[in-house]
Chain A
Amino acid sequence: MNAPVILDRRSVLAGSGALIVSFSLGRALAQEKAATPAPSLPASLKTSPYLDSWIRIDANGAITVFTGKAELGQGFKTAFQQIAAEQLDVPFASLKVITADTGLTANEGYTSGSHSMQDSGTAILHAAAQARALLLAEAAKRLDLPAETLRTDNGAVVAADGRRLGYGELVASDLLHTQAQPESPLKDPATFKVMGQSVPRVDIPAKVTGGAAYIQDMRLPGMVHARIVRPPSYGAQLVECDAAAVEKMPGVLKVIRDGNFLAVLATREFQAIKAMRALAGGSKWQENAKLPKQDELPTMLMALPSHDSTIFQRSDPSATGLRTIEASYTRPYQSHGSIGPSCAVAHFVDGKMTVWSHTQGVYPDRQAIAEMLRMPLGDVRVIHVEGSGCYGHNGADDAAGDAALIARGMPDTPVRVQWMREEEHAWEPFGPAMMTKLKASLDGNGKIADWHFEVWSNTHSMRPGGAGCLLAAQHMAQAIPVPPAKPLPLPEGGGDRNAIPIYTFPNAHVVHHFLPDMPVRISAMRALGAYHNVFSIESFMDELSTLAGADPVEFRLKHLDDPRGRDVIAKAAEGFGWLKGQTAPRDRGFGFAFARYKNLAAYCAIATEVEVNRETGRVRLVRAVAAVDSGQVVNPDGLVNQIEGSIVQSTSWTLYESVSFDDTRITSIDWQTYPILRFDAVPDSIDVHIINRPGLPFLGSGETGQGPAAASIANAIANATGKRLRDLPLSRKRIKDAIDA
């Protein structure tokens, strides 16, 4: 093997040539045969196959990892750095991660659906492993040694005789500018040093010391401040405004009026706010009363035109039900409620627009902005900068559109747009209202014989792509209409996300009633339809277990074949101390729920204990115990943080939250009118148990807890009170009314 080795990069990565020992021989040969047609690449490598789209190594050895996904506080930036460090065999701290930027990173669409680890993390895993293989092969060539005698260590390839070649030396020319191959020489999980460790998050130090950590902290030289005067309601038309008076106010640079898009620009931020208030006060709008009646949401949803489709059907005539129950569940419109209102900075120089945004999709937002401004796509760059947690499509993209529209009229001047609290609450696209109807029968053995599930819902994504999704484009004089809504396709789905039961029932029928008309502005909110569908399914499973006289955990296991699902259920039950035939203390209740997010991502089971004040109807989550299986875990503490957060946030949605409106305006416009969970309602404890699956694919986890937490709490309330609540939120008043009924 000491003969000079002639390599080309493709053969190295395909597993032939000098590196064959690193790969399975059988697999390598199989790949050779399958060379045409192009084999399927893992995750986001499919759309961005070049290794240097993901990993770049400079001549000085500096390594940069690129991801098209946006860090939103989920902590994946740290996890990606761990993945790359592990597979490249370099110290964690020696890497840098660059996130979503249309000028620098791959187009990975939206950061959504718990896809970051699955799509981008997996791409980085393979790209880093393949880069390491190329570095080893290049070193073998230069050292004239067989690759199997070489090892990698601390950013260098090391020979048995002690000679070292740094990655920077090896990477000369375009070594990594090559297409990825389907198989990678991944490290054995048993040897992991960085992956699987709770490495502290890289973004936290700046966040707890006042570093510049957010888009709100950007200060470009000469930057000016904009505030928008939004219409008071959907569809309102600007009749008149007193721009001249406002333009005389201190610091005011100009008033922008473009159709119904009204904004003010000032040198200093508080001057802009004062001017905005004056401008709003002096404006007259023609409004129209066309919002639905808030307390008749189920009727309203069912009255909307719908496109109906059966999305799942199974039948086994030998199984027949004896006892049948049915129930309907509803969810109101709910708000993302980011703590920091949306913000963006735009700078228009020499015909090129740069926008800094906390959008979850830099490429789609760029497309929308370019279309709105009628600019060539290549002249617009959108760079992600972290904002306040968004949990879906909040005002981020709209603020980016606002900033770009204003900045185009102010060439060379950086323009910062900061939304106000009322603006975020009234104008963000909400999580859609939903309704489900369930009906099921038990056979003579207390097993479910048939299952019927229907869900009524809008789409769960009106994210940009087209300019009509941006408020500024909708409001400007040459308005661009809102594009027609489309249902999100299965298997992930939108309104029907998690509508198909994971349990095995001999007869099952699932119908999706897609509602194209959107009386209230809606879009993607964490977990989409899965929040309500899992709440419905897992509440109804409890109702059925009561009918069967069975323990809720045992009842679920009786209907579940998926072994990983069974494992998380068993783990959560064990961690909670769940006992068959248990009785909760007085005024307390125990609940249980389970789901596999989208039926294809992470598994999550949650057991809860709640306390109910019978006099007031007030409920408090006392403790929660969760078990989660996300496949191979990269950062256990990061995963625990996500699940803890998911449980607390879902508790808030489930117990308190509902967007309110009258016939014209959204009336939940701040934290008084849209109350969320505060510290007095924080549980005593949340325990998260991770079932690690070394070497198995990453399964998205950021949204897996939303549905199970809601149903687990509803089930615990039913256990405590003997009353079943089926309308979200499970508010103090509804609980009190149920107890008193």
Chain B
Amino acid sequence: MTTLKVNGQEHQIEADADTPLLYVLRDELKLNAAKFGCGLGQCGSCTVIVDGKAVLSCVTPLLLVEGKQITTLEGLGTDEAPAPIQRAFMEEQAAQCGYCIAGMMMRAQALLQRNSKPTDAEIRAELAPHLCRCGTHMRILRAVKRAAHLMDTAELLPANQGSAR
């Protein structure tokens, strides 16, 4: 049994210690957002946040994340109460097939948590590990900028008026 803290909840996981986190999230916890893209850490589709840092869940064994705070896209917000990053991607219509988008959003979220006003060059450099085949890049860049702005604005509002977490 491994204890896993995902999106603020503790789970007892019965899986081999070498099982990549991706399969635990998808198959044991039935979470959809982290995606299988390559299983090799080359495309970024499986990205989640572990203790504040973007991590490629397809090459991260369960063993290494025990007891750590794991956040997936589901943990940020919902369709009804989207987090700033989710609102920004909706408002910019920053998806075509969208398969790569959840991973992109998690790395962008991790960036914005440590740097609330990234430059365009910083966003591009941060997203370098991520592939998008539909060519939605221009919108993704705009959405991350918009998310930074939304988070900034949310912080200025009283807590109960900010975008839902």
Chain A interfacial positions (CB closer than 8 Å to B)? 72-75, 198, 200-201, 203-214, 216-217, 219, 250, 268-270, 273, 337-341, 386-389, 391, 418, 420-421, 637, 641-642, 644-649, 651-652, 670-672, 676-680, 682-683, 685-686
Chain B interfacial positions (CB closer than 8 Å to A)? 15-16, 19-20, 23, 26-27, 30-33, 35-40, 42-43, 45, 72-74, 77-79, 82, 86, 89-90, 93, 95-102, 105, 124-125, 127-128, 130-139, 141
Partner pick for B90 among A74, A205, A213, A387, CB 8 A cutoff = A205
B98 touches A208 (CB 8 A): yes
Instruction: Give the docked Cα–Cα distance between A351 and B79 (Å).
Output: 39
A216 touches B133 (CB 8 A): no
Partner pick for B96 among A389, A676, A686, CB 8 A cutoff = A389
Smallest CB gap from B91: residue in A = A200
Smallest CB gap from B133: residue in A = A339
The verdict on A421 contacting B78 (CB below 8 Å), with A339-B45, A648-B138, A678-B128 known, is no
B93 touches A670 (CB 8 A): no
- Least distance between B83 CB and chain A CB atoms (Å): 9
The verdict on A207 contacting B16 (CB below 8 Å), with A75-B96, A645-B134 known, is no
Report chain B residues within 8 Å CB of A645: 96, 134-136
Report chain A residues within 8 Å CB of B131: 339, 671, 676, 678
Report chain B residues within 8 Å CB of A74: 96
Instruction: Give the docked Cα–Cα distance between A219 and B90 (Å).
Output: 26
Smallest CB gap from A73: residue in B = B97
B31 touches A204 (CB 8 A): no
Smallest CB gap from A212: residue in B = B32
5 contacts between A and B (CB under 8 A): A208-B90, A270-B27, A340-B36, A671-B42, A672-B42
Tell me if B's interface is mostly helix, strand, loop or mixed: loop
Report, nearest first, the 4 A-B pairs whose CB atoms are least far apart: A648-B135, A73-B97, A389-B97, A210-B33
A268 touches B32 (CB 8 A): no
Report chain B residues within 8 Å CB of A73: 95-98, 134
Instruction: Give the docked Cα–Cα distance between A217 and B93 (Å).
Output: 22
Instruction: Give the docked Cα–Cα distance between A670 and B38 (Å).
Output: 8
Smallest CB gap from A390: residue in B = B97
Instruction: Give the docked Cα–Cα distance between A74 and B1 (Å).
Output: 43
Partner pick for B78 among A209, A268, A270, A339, CB 8 A cutoff = A209
Smallest CB gap from B86: residue in A = A208
The verdict on A644 contacting B32 (CB below 8 Å), with A207-B98, A269-B27, A338-B133 known, is no
Report chain A residues within 8 Å CB of B77: 209
Partner pick for A210 among B32, B38, B127, B135, CB 8 A cutoff = B32
Instruction: Give the docked Cα–Cα distance between A74 and B98 (Å).
Output: 10
Smallest CB gap from A386: residue in B = B97
Instruction: Give the docked Cα–Cα distance between A676 and B43 (Å).
Output: 10
A206 touches B40 (CB 8 A): no
Instruction: Give the docked Cα–Cα distance between A682 and B40 (Å).
Output: 23
Report chain B residues within 8 Å CB of A389: 96-97, 99, 133-134
Report chain A residues within 8 Å CB of B35: 214, 216, 339-340
Partner pick for A676 among B99, B105, B133, CB 8 A cutoff = B133
Report chain A residues within 8 Å CB of B86: 208-209
Smallest CB gap from A672: residue in B = B42
A682 touches B124 (CB 8 A): yes
A421 touches B37 (CB 8 A): yes
The verdict on A341 contacting B36 (CB below 8 Å), with A207-B98, A270-B20, A676-B131 known, is yes
Instruction: Give the docked Cα–Cα distance between A735 and B51 (Å).
Output: 44
The verdict on A670 contacting B74 (CB below 8 Å), with A340-B35, A680-B128 known, is no
- Least distance between B139 CB and chain A CB atoms (Å): 7
A269 touches B23 (CB 8 A): yes
B36 touches A648 (CB 8 A): no
Instruction: Give the docked Cα–Cα distance between A649 and B86 (Å).
Output: 24
Report chain B residues within 8 Å CB of A204: 89-90, 93, 95, 98
Report chain A residues within 8 Å CB of B16: 250, 270
- Least distance between B78 CB and chain A CB atoms (Å): 6
B128 touches A213 (CB 8 A): no
Instruction: Give the docked Cα–Cα distance between A680 and B31 (Å).
Output: 31
A685 touches B95 (CB 8 A): no
B37 touches A685 (CB 8 A): no
Seed contacts A73-B134, A208-B95; 9 additional CB < 8 Å A-B pairs:
A75-B96, A203-B95, A270-B23, A338-B133, A388-B133, A648-B135, A670-B42, A676-B131, A685-B138
Smallest CB gap from B105: residue in A = A208
Partner pick for A339 among B33, B100, B141, CB 8 A cutoff = B100
Smallest CB gap from A650: residue in B = B135
Instruction: Give the docked Cα–Cα distance between A217 and B33 (Å).
Output: 9
Smallest CB gap from A686: residue in B = B138
